């Protein structure tokens, strides 16, 4: 039985329909916190938001890696700071949110990008509890902790947005049991939190990438070339492909979009190229 829903808080006055982003950088006057931003999708997102005017707090479990991303942004004229953050630890998350607000005076955008993805063993029954629990803790409970800590500040901004980084693994079977379950759960959390936070002026959406050329695929160029054959657009993704989608969903260009999953997967989940190749004998 579905439990009764709590009464909704009163709705704030919402701003008028926003002007087109062509009027200027979309994130002028915005502050953003990005987790797992020391490299890959997170780093590309930090660069993209900063290039569009945002003040960015780059967080990562590896503080040195976070600082390298922040330094690169500053070298190109952007505003960025770095801070170590373990999304598996509530105190660390709350300290990161407090740091962003103290340094920038506000928080408008949260990007939940940090994740854990354990390799599968040949037999499911041999999977250790530790791998399963870590994947769920970092990839699902981490965004929960970050969103909980950030939400009061996102509400106060009057234009708050949360963008979760999910995966096509949350929709179809591509292996990685714990990671896939976590990403499916994150899509559900995106929808329920969107319903809860929408009346208070905060939008919550999710980007579901396909295969993206990040450090996770380092040294596997041959495998990536093979994988490219199953993508209708003929290639795997780049971190910047995902960053572009995040920037859209975080901006006022997406002012009437919440609770959605945006697949950025080169058409992978729209068709079955593997089946077509098998039938054709290619």
| Annotated catalytic residue, options 144, 179, 231, 273 | 179
Structure token pair of residue 114: 């940090």
Q: Which residue has the tokens 């890959």?
A: 40
Please report which residue ranges of 198-256 form alpha helices under DSSP H.
Answer: 221-228, 239-250
The CA–CA distances, whole Å, from 172 to 83, 86, 175, 208 equal 34, 28, 9, 11
Neighbour tally for 273: CB within 10 Å: 15
What is the layout of strands, in order, in the sheet containing 79-84? Answer: 79-84, 55-60, 31-34, 109-112, 161-165, 203-209, 261-264
Helix (H), strand (E), coil (C) string for 201-213: CCEEEEEEECCEC
Rounded to the nearest 10 degrees, how much is the dihedral formed by the CA atoms of 112, 240, 73, 94? 0
Secondary structure class of 12 (helix, strand, coil): coil
Active site residue 179: yes
Q: CB neighbours of 151 closer than 8 A, spacing ≥ 6? A: 160, 197, 202
Q: CA 88, 49, 152: angle at the middle one, nearest 5?
A: 50
Contact in structure between 111 and 246 (CB atoms under 8 Å): yes
Active site members: 179
């Amino acid at each position: 039985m579905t439990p009764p829903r709590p009464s909704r808080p009163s709705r704030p006055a919402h701003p008028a329909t926003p002007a087109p982003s062509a009027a200027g950088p979309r994130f002028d006057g915005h502050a953003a916190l990005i987790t797992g931003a020391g490299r890959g999708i997170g780093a590309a997102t930090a660069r993209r938001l900063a290039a569009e005017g945002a003040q960015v707090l780059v967080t990562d479990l590896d503080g040195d890696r976070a600082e390298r991303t922040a330094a690169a942004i500053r070298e190109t004229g952007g505003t960025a700071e770095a801070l170590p953050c373990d999304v598996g630890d509530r105190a660390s998350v709350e300290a990161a949110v407090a740091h962003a607000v103290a340094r920038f005076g506000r928080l408008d955008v949260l990007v939940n990008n940090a994740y854990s993805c354990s390799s599968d063993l040949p037999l499911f029954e041999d999977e250790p509890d530790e791998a399963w629990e870590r994947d769920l803790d970092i990839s699902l409970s981490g965004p929960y902790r970050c969103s909980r800590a950030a939400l009061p500040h996102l509400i106060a901004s009057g234009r708050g947005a949360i963008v979760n980084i999910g995966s096509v693994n949350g929709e179809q079977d591509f292996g990685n049991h714990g990671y896939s379950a976590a990403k499916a759960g994150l899509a559900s959390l995106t929808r329920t939190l969107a319903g809860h936070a929408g009346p208070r002026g905060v939008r919550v959406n999710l980007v579901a990438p396909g295969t993206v050329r990040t450090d996770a695929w380092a040294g596997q160029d041959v495998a990536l070339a093979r994988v490219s054959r199953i993508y209708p657009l003929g290639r795997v993704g780049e971190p910047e492909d995902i960053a572009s989608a995040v920037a859209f969903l975080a901006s006022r260009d997406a002012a009437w979009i919440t609770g959605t999953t945006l697949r950025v997967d080169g058409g992978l989940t729209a068709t079955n190229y593997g089946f077509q190749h098998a039938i054709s004998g290619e």
